[in-house]
Structure 1
Amino acid sequence: MARPRKPLLSRDRIVEAASALVDTEGLDAVSTRRLAAELGVSGPSLYNHFRNKDEILDAVADAVSVQVDLSMFDESDPRDWREALHDWALSYRAALAAHPHIVPVLARGPGRRPAGLRVADAVFGAMVGAGWPPAQATRIGALMRYFITGSALGSFAGGFVDDESAYDPADYPHLGQAHLLAERRREVDEGAFEVGLRALLDGLERQYEEYGAADGGAAPSSPSGV
């Protein structure tokens, strides 16, 4: 039997094609008709693998979640909870920065996506294992997602034009250097993320110490709460 001229359609091929479209053209570029054309197949054949466009975008989002490093949450890893959260946050943001157009889908939460649920499970499990009460561990997971996905939804530095005349000192006396921000976008945005992450973790560490003081001078060893 002669081999087919095109590779057989699979979930992986569909996700790969959809990911490329999202990365280059954004979420609105994805449709079953467009994907079928890109893959050289009939539109209905996609429905053998996905029920609709939303399921395809969920799969694209999960393919990004797979890229997030979770090794710091392994029980054999020597990093404490603060260092683990820090390093995970950097990995998570790097994955989102590489695929910014899919961030709105990821920001909705993991839903039923396996990789997204593994991320949530790893963070929650590590926080509870470190002694945080489960209710607070849940809030920490939510807080980190808000902070990381929020930082990836847009660029502060990229929001300023590189035209010095746009910042008339008579109107904006403190924005004399604002036209330089766009060309320093990566430096500004990554620096802002690191400053915010450090402040966030400093606050959590103080709370952690307060839990310990309330428990007799050590971090809680027997988490409680829901």
Structure 2
Amino acid sequence: MGRPRQPLLSRDRIVDAALALVDAEGLDVLSTRRLASELGVSGPALYNHFATKDEIVDAVVDTVLGEVDIAVFARVSADAARDAADDRSQDAAEATSWDEALRVWARSYRAVLGAHPNLVPALAPGPARRPNALRMADAVFGSLVRSGWPRAQATRVGVLMRYFVTGSALGSFAGGFPDDAALYAGEYPHLGQAHLLADAQREINENAFEAGLEALLHGLADRYARVRVG
């Protein structure tokens, strides 16, 4: 029998299959045996590309994080953004303030995680040795420091934003209310309309995220002003 023109397996094919499995059924069902079955190969064949299941999970997470927009941080320059109204040079016009960069990034980050909610728990340990995760952390921290945030404060801001975004992607608050009006009658007088929330969960969740994001950025802007004065 001749050798196949293309190898049966590649890292990309394994990662794609693993992500599809996690998206469909959750992290708990992911195993090398199940993944091999999905790919139509024997279990040991996976080990030619990944030594452990954890390495596969890391690769899946990092692939997804590679979809997050971090290019905006390369355009951050607080001084240029402040002076843009007076300086009409190309550099000033293209500059982005640190808070606008966080806004763009947070929306992109949430959209990516929202497309793969079952993968969010795997983000909890932090970037580890995941290249895209490390690039994202470096971009966020670097832009904040470049904008005048002290390094310790920049670390806290990055952590705070990460908590906010990943927390918002863990599930739907509105979708957690049963659509049974009788459940709330009498004992929960302030939840008389709660049975309607599930039908509007996407709008509610998005509006809640935007409200939280703006409140967070306004609070950080106040802190930034105090840091700059100090």
Regarding TM over 0.5, the answer is yes
| Aligned residue in 1 for 2:44 | 44
- Counterparts of 1:187-198 in structure 2 under 5 Å? 187-198=203-214
Output the aligned Cα RMSD: 1.5
- Aligned-partner Cα distance in 2 for 1:19–1:180: 33
Unaligned 5+ runs, structure 1: 215-226
Measured after TM superposition, the shift of residue 63 of structure 1 is 1.0
SS at match of 2:182: helix
Measured after TM superposition, the shift of residue 28 of structure 1 is 1.3
SS at match of 1:62: helix
Tell me if the contact between 2:148 and 2:228 (Cα under 8 Å) persists in the aligned partners. no
Query: Which structure: greater helix fraction?
Result: 2
Q: Is it true that 1:184 corresponds to 2:206 in the alignment?
A: no
| Aligned residue in 2 for 1:207 | 223
Measured after TM superposition, the shift of residue 2 of structure 1 is 3.9
- Aligned-partner Cα distance in 2 for 1:114–1:15: 15
SS at match of 2:34: helix
Aligned counterpart in structure 2 of residue 84 of structure 1, from 52, 77, 101: 101
SS at match of 1:150: helix
Structure 1 residue identity aligned to 2:55: E
What percent of counterpart residues are identical?
65
Encode CA deviations 1:46-70: one digit per residue, 9 max, x unaligned: 1111111111111111111001001
Structure 2 residue identity aligned to 1:21: L
Structure 2 residue identity aligned to 1:43: G
1:42/1:86 Cα in 2 relative to 1: closer, same or farther (>3 Å)?
same
Unaligned 5+ runs, structure 2: 76-90
- Counterparts of 1:60-209 in structure 2 under 5 Å? 60-75=60-75, 77-168=94-185, 170-209=186-225
- Aligned-partner Cα distance in 1 for 2:146–2:2: 56
Encode CA deviations 1:25-61: one digit per residue, 9 max, x unaligned: 1001211011111111111111111111111111111
| Superposition TM-score, scaled by structure 2 size | 0.89
| Superposition TM-score, scaled by structure 1 size | 0.90
